[in-house]
Structure 1
Amino acid sequence: MSINQQLGYTPDHASPPGDLIQEYLDHLGISARELARRCGRSGKLMAEIAAGKAPIEPETALQLERVLDLPASVWIAMEAAYQLHKAREAETEALENSYEWATRFPLKELAERKLLTRQSGKSEQVRELLRFFGVGSVKACDERLGDLLAVDFRTSTTFKNDNLALSAWIRIGELRAASIETADYDRDAFLAALREIRELTLIPINDALPELERKCAAAGVAFVLEKPLPKIRVSGISRWLSPRKALIQQSLRHKSDDHFWFTFFHECAHILLHSRKEIFIDMAKGPGSADPKQEAEANVWAADFLVPTAAMRSFVLTFAGGEDEVRRFAKKQKIAPGIVVGQLQHNEVIGFAALNNLKVYYQWTDE
């Protein structure tokens, strides 16, 4: 790595190799045509090189090495630096024209999470956003956004969705997951881990999360809990990062324990039951497509895994609406009472305002 690369130095100018050739011509007192004759090239080509209108090709560099006694590598390096400078100037202009596009992303929030830096220059800010998404151009970024939104994610119609903010949140999950070491995915190991994770609903979330993450990773699934960005209503996504590594990412959008755990097991169901190439979307409006049957399958699987259907039906037959009844049933099922309440509400056994005091509500540390 050169000292310029180490220091992040980018020259704001670069001279074409033709300038140096012209200095040699002046020093030797010969014309471009004479130099061309000595090199065995056409006079027109050498005149264009000297004027910076034509590039120095490797063959020409070797000929100049012999005639002017300056290594071919120097000529090639000068040409490369000049061409790179011209490309950078052209790119800067193009990126400046894309600045308005970049401002549609939640730049402030991404900077606060130290995922990118705010830049004063328009082109520099667009470059920083492209770096965040891991792409080389605005066109490539637009294509990448389509890929990022083609995932399985649970959402709530209570919150307004912004697709650009959503794509940024999904990208954060990718970046976080990249630092999580996981074993190769093993379906049986994942199912075994989920049976152990189910009992984590009984302990405080801060104590449960490290164990949840560890158990998932040991089965080939990265778990990421990432605070939602403004204007998005996603609760969770599940996707495959590679054939051997899956990702479950949650936002804690609704901060109750029943919603958090149901979302988690819903995403687990998609990983267990459905194709790794499928796209599942549970939202009123948005990108992609969803098979309602698969969404229903994930809901049924998650509900039954948390509270066995037969046990819930039996409980509902004698349920009189009391808190103590819920607590005793939840204790027998080794599950948090709030999860039982959530299912009773969803099944319209009780109203959505009933027994919410049995739920646990989480809060981000910076709130």
Structure 2
Amino acid sequence: MAKQAINEYQPDYAVSPGEVLSDELEVRGMTQQELAKRTGLTPKHIVSIAQAKSSITPETAIKLERALGMPADYWLNLESQYQEAVARLHEEAKLERDLGWLKRIPVAMMAKLNWIDRPSDAKAQLVEVLRFFGIASVEQWDDMWPNLNVAYRQHNHQEIFPESVSAWLRRGEIEAAQIACETFDKAAFRAALDDIRLLTTEGPDVFVPRMRDLCARAGVAVVFVPALPKTGVSGATRWLNSNKALIQLSLRYRTDDHLWFTFFHEAGHILLHGKKELFLEGANGLDPAKEAEANNFAEQELLPRMRFSAFTRRNQFSKVAISSFAKEIRVAPGIVVGQLQHRGLLPRTHCNDLKQTFRWAHE
């Protein structure tokens, strides 16, 4: 049987129990002073209830029941409904004020990726985005992502919205929560990287599930999350708790050389650096020393330094030579091309057909 839609009317006003009480007294021809005598409450308290400055407590409700013959739960229900209505009106006003923040969230793309629903009402959309972030209001965004505004201050290359970056990071959290990981084991993760390096010659249908499994066994969740507009991020590393690390990849540059370098760079942060930092590739303000250490780690893991140095000294970088060397060291040829281009030994227009190019399913 189809589920019927229920229309819930939410009034844009709140009727206090005090108003109902005042009307009831008027109908009965009873003054507030008389009610005070009958209930044992002070006249000041009765006035305060009538003006909605004081709430009706269970004790007061019982006194009203005895004095007026109207059940205590009637008064308590009125009070509960009034407080809820006041809270909703307050929240509506806050949502109205916070609609400007919503403009900095890539709602269209998030909906396209099925991360959120797309209601037509702007305030309903804001509530949907808040649910996605798992926060009660926009005020909590600053508490949950306190360093993003600092990290992207004075970004020189493109306009970055910290709110958009946080949405990308939040999606990583959500997906990582679905990955069951063993307790982090540094030695096991280090060993897993050797196996993962051999997967660079494979396609995504092979390397993605295999690398996820290897990392999960060592206590690291690996997630692939499409880059959102106004983010400029290629990868991120952080610890979800003391026993579970997260590597998040965006495929921002779409080629295997960038993907694998980013992955091993993030792996370097996990092995070399602390558990309290967020390493966000693409942000300003990152520790240069730690970034250099992670870069060196990735380079050494992908292309053993001595063998790569010997290869570059030949100064012969044809496709055949590159492919032969890549096969010799058991790594994807695109990675060799990327490093040669990065070091200025090969023009960035040369040998790009040796790289694997990736596309997201939604594209």
TM-score normalised to structure 2 length = 0.88
Residue number in structure 2 paired with 1:205: 204
Instruction: Give the one of 312, 315, 324 matched to 1:316.
Output: 312
Paired residues of 1:326 and 1:340 also in contact (CA < 8 A): yes
Paired residues of 1:319 and 1:325 also in contact (CA < 8 A): no
Paired residues of 2:233 and 2:280 also in contact (CA < 8 A): no
Which aligned pairs between 1:229-240 and structure 2 lie closer than 5 A?
Answer: 229-240=228-239
TM-score normalised to structure 1 length = 0.87
Determine if the alignment matches structure 1 residue 125 to structure 2 residue 125. yes
The farther-off stretch of 131-140 and 241-250 is: 131-140
TM-superposed deviation, 1:267: 0.5
Q: Secondary structure at the match of 1:238?
A: strand
Paired residues of 1:157 and 1:233 also in contact (CA < 8 A): no
Q: Distance in 2 between matches of 1:315 and 1:126?
A: 55
Q: Distance in 2 between matches of 1:302 and 1:219?
A: 19
Residue number in structure 2 paired with 1:3: none
TM-superposed deviation, 1:274: 0.3
Q: Secondary structure at the match of 1:93?
A: helix
Q: Distance in 2 between matches of 1:366 and 1:122?
A: 25
Residue number in structure 1 paired with 2:82: 82
Q: Secondary structure at the match of 1:313?
A: helix
Paired residues of 1:282 and 1:295 also in contact (CA < 8 A): no
Paired residues of 1:93 and 1:123 also in contact (CA < 8 A): no
Q: Secondary structure at the match of 1:97?
A: helix
TM-superposed deviation, 1:24: 4.8
Residue number in structure 2 paired with 1:192: 191
Which aligned pairs between 1:154-303 and structure 2 lie closer than 5 A?
Answer: 160-283=159-282, 286=284, 289-303=285-299
Q: Secondary structure at the match of 2:309?
A: helix
The farther-off stretch of 221-230 and 49-58 is: 49-58
Residue number in structure 2 paired with 1:347: 343
Write the deviation string for residues 275-320 of structure 1: whole angstroms up to 9, x where unpaired.
112344554x64xx32111100000001101111111112222241
- Structure 1: runs of 5 or more not aligned: 1-5
Residue number in structure 1 paired with 2:145: 145
Determine if the alignment matches structure 1 residue 333 to structure 2 residue 332. no
Letter in 2 for 1:268: A
TM-aligned CA distance change 1:355 to 1:159, over 3 Å: farther
TM-superposed deviation, 1:23: 5.6
Q: Moved runs in structure 1, 4+ residues, more than 6 A?
A: none
Letter in 2 for 1:326: I
Paired residues of 2:236 and 2:281 also in contact (CA < 8 A): no
Q: Secondary structure at the match of 1:331?
A: helix
The farther-off stretch of 300-309 and 106-115 is: 106-115
Q: Secondary structure at the match of 1:140?
A: helix
Write the deviation string for residues 137-166 of structure 1: whole angstroms up to 9, x where unpaired.
222223333256788x9xx98765332222
TM-superposed deviation, 1:122: 3.5
TM-superposed deviation, 1:61: 2.6
Q: Distance in 2 between matches of 1:70 and 1:334?
A: 84
Write the deviation string for residues 78-118 of structure 1: whole angstroms up to 9, x where unpaired.
21221121121122122212212211211111222222233
- Structure 2: runs of 5 or more not aligned: none
Q: Distance in 2 between matches of 1:280 and 1:352?
A: 27
CA RMSD of aligned residues (A): 2.7
Percent sequence identity over aligned pairs: 40
Paired residues of 2:61 and 2:73 also in contact (CA < 8 A): yes
Q: Distance in 2 between matches of 1:185 and 1:71?
A: 60
Letter in 2 for 1:312: F
Residue number in structure 2 paired with 1:94: 94
Residue number in structure 2 paired with 1:11: 10
